[in-house]
Chains A and B, each alone.
Chain A
Amino acid sequence: MAALIACQNLVKRFSSPPQLGDRLARLLGRPVRPRTVYAVDDVSLEIAEGEVLGLVGESGCGKSTLGRMIAGIQPPSAGLALLDGVPVMGGGRSPVKTTTRVQMIFQDPFASLDPRMRIGDIVAEGPIANGLVSRAEAAADTAKWLAAVGLDPTAAQRYPHQFSGGQRQRVAIARALAMRPDILVCDEPVASLDVSIQAQIINLFLKLKRDLGLTMLFISHDLGLVRHISDRVAIMYLGKLVETGATQAVFENPRHPYTRALLDSMPKLRLDDADVDFKPIDGELPSPLAPPPGCHFHLRCPGMRPACRTAVPELIRSVDGRELACHYPLVGG
């Protein structure tokens, strides 16, 4: 399988402008620590054609930012997001997305649809603007995609506020599909929906993937969901990838302590009467403004050794195709 999406050393920095106090300190010759957050820090990642890659991590670890760079919404600070070897966004001072082949689905369907536009216009706008359909064909095209996501064609005449969350998310999916994408970036697409609706939307994703041969980057913090939908998973912690591999292998035999801890903290339903034994990860996610030196996870890692405090572990690929960034990987399991 050829890699359809390839991220090469992607970095996204956010820096706040220096404040008055900092400028004064610099004038006086004092060292000033720049207020820079590395939301995504040197991430290289590949997604093969037809694959569903699940991207997992805690809130604030940079998984949404990574998704937005791949979808061409935010330009990377450094590195490249390539689609078939071509950057998703053009260069220059104000980079613009140059492809329609990647489309994105957002977490909150109440924010991702323009409240002042009719559903039909929302779905048809992109294809018309990019010359995929003519104005005359747009209505029929919109009806086709609304039907594909299980909505009535009459929905085209209505406004977003007349729909429930699940229906709105279907509209958002129809809008993305109408662009004939090869890749969908789904940023927590069901996190804001009721559980009963979640299942419907997930099944819709699986059906669309099968019917249209879509490649997907599926961002979520819901491990159960990721296990259900993904072919491969990537675990992210504080802007860096810590482990990737085939879903089954990673879930059954995690090698990074963070992956292990995430799986252990997952609440499960048990049929026997055993005590509920999910344990939370100790501590909080460190501030990305001042990430700990060495391995970012060492403050919370149960297997921490002295080397972890100083040396940053590289993401290394092993023979079985899994990647891992840990000095002392877990064995067995």
Chain B
Amino acid sequence: MNATSPVGRFWREFCENRVALAALVVVAATILLAILAPFVVPQNPYDLASLALIDARRPPGYVGRSGFVHWLGTDAQGRDLLSAILYGLRISLQVGLAAGALAFAIGATLGAVAAFVGGRVETALMRFVDLQLSFPAILLALVLVAVLGPGRGQLIAALVAAQYAYFARTAHGAAAAERAKDYVSAALSTPIPAWQVVFRHILPNCLPPLIVVATLQVANSIALEATLSFLGLGLPVTEPSLGMLIANGFQYMLSGRYWISIYPGVALILLIVAINLVGDQVRDQLNPRLKR
């Protein structure tokens, strides 16, 4: 990569922060493991036929009926926890990334259009967004999941509805600043159609702050999904996500079978902290006031 190009400079600066670099490695490894999960894990946790209750709630290191070592133990259904965690990560990442991307697209468009159009449309849209921001996201997501019912699509829709407002706020602020610049006037006076000005000129120039919000909101989506699953409002029991694994093991915590809850919890925390660290570093680098 060319060291003088903006991307090359950004990458070099990113590498200077060892913690952020380690976090990026963790995120990349997690994504890779989640993608490759079916080829890595010893047991398909969705295949109920391969589970045996005789293997249930065994501690880490137990050699099960099928002959392989359960490195992280098994849960109440006799599922290998390592396999369940990796499959759970697949769901968490899918839901988190899909919800983040959709909320990004909807929120950024809404914010940029509001800033561009101005007037009453802007006031109405942004007051609605403000109203929603004053609600806790978890409350809104809870209500929506309860209304929409179970399912992956419904869950993503609820997360998007709870989170697009953050993107809309950020995009609105950035777009309002870009709207006043001469290159927008130049495009309008050419004239270039308004939608083209918004999507080809204003939005691309609002990207830096939006990318930062996106990294943090993906982590938030994953945490929110885990919370909803923990509360029993997420995905079906046959496809346990990390949150549901934690919820399932919760009742055994005090009887000494800590591993059922703790290991999925550690995986969740590791992923969220790593994404947040990467997001923090990107934010610091994109903020000109923090530039040395």
Contacts and interface: CB of A to CB of B under 8 A. Distances in A.
Contacts of A72: 189, 191
A73 B185 contact: yes
B193 interface: yes
The B contact surface, by secondary structure, is helix
Contact of A129 (B117, B186, B192, B204): B192
Nearest to B191: A97
A103 B189 contact: yes
B179 interface: no
B101 to A, nearest CB: 21
B216 to A, nearest CB: 23
Given A114-B205, A115-B205, A116-B204, A125 B183 contact: no
Contacts of A111: 181-183
A112 interface: yes
B269 interface: no
Contacts of A179: 190
Contact of A97 (B117, B182, B188, B205): B188
A107 B186 CA distance: 11
A108 B192 contact: no
A208 B190 CA distance: 19
A129 B205 contact: no
Interface in B273-288: none
Nearest to A126: B190
B171 to A, nearest CB: 16
A234 interface: no
The A contact surface, by secondary structure, is loop
Nearest to B6: A161
B182 A112 contact: yes
Which interface residue of A73, A114, A125, A129 has the most chain B CB atoms within 10 A?
A114
Contacts of B186: 104, 106, 112-113, 172, 175
Contacts of A97: 188-189, 191
A68 B183 contact: no
Given A104-B186, A108-B182, A112-B186, A125 B205 contact: no
A242 interface: no
A96 interface: yes
B9 to A, nearest CB: 12
A130 B205 contact: no
Given A106-B182, A129-B196, A96 B201 contact: no
B187 interface: yes
B230 to A, nearest CB: 42
Interface in B199-214: 200-201, 204-205
A71 interface: yes
Which interface residue of A73, A102, A115, A175 has the most chain B CB atoms within 10 A?
A73
Interface string A40-69: 000000000000000000000000000010
Contacts of A106: 182, 185-186
A73 B189 contact: yes
A118 B191 CA distance: 19
A6 to B, nearest CB: 19
Contacts of B201: 114, 117
B191 A114 contact: no
Given A115-B205, A116-B204, A129-B196, A68 B185 contact: yes
Contacts of A114: 183, 187, 201, 204-205
A8 interface: no
22 contacts: A72-B191, A73-B185, A73-B188, A96-B194, A97-B188, A100-B190, A100-B191, A104-B185, A104-B186, A112-B185, A114-B183, A114-B187, A114-B205, A116-B205, A117-B200, A117-B201, A125-B192, A126-B187, A126-B191, A129-B196, A130-B191, A179-B190
A-B residue pairs, 5 tightest by C-beta = A126-B190, A112-B182, A111-B182, A97-B191, A106-B182
Given A97-B188, A107-B182, 13 more contacts: A71-B189, A97-B191, A103-B189, A104-B185, A106-B186, A108-B182, A112-B183, A114-B201, A116-B205, A126-B187, A126-B192, A129-B196, A179-B190
Interface of B: 117, 181-183, 185-194, 196, 200-201, 204-205
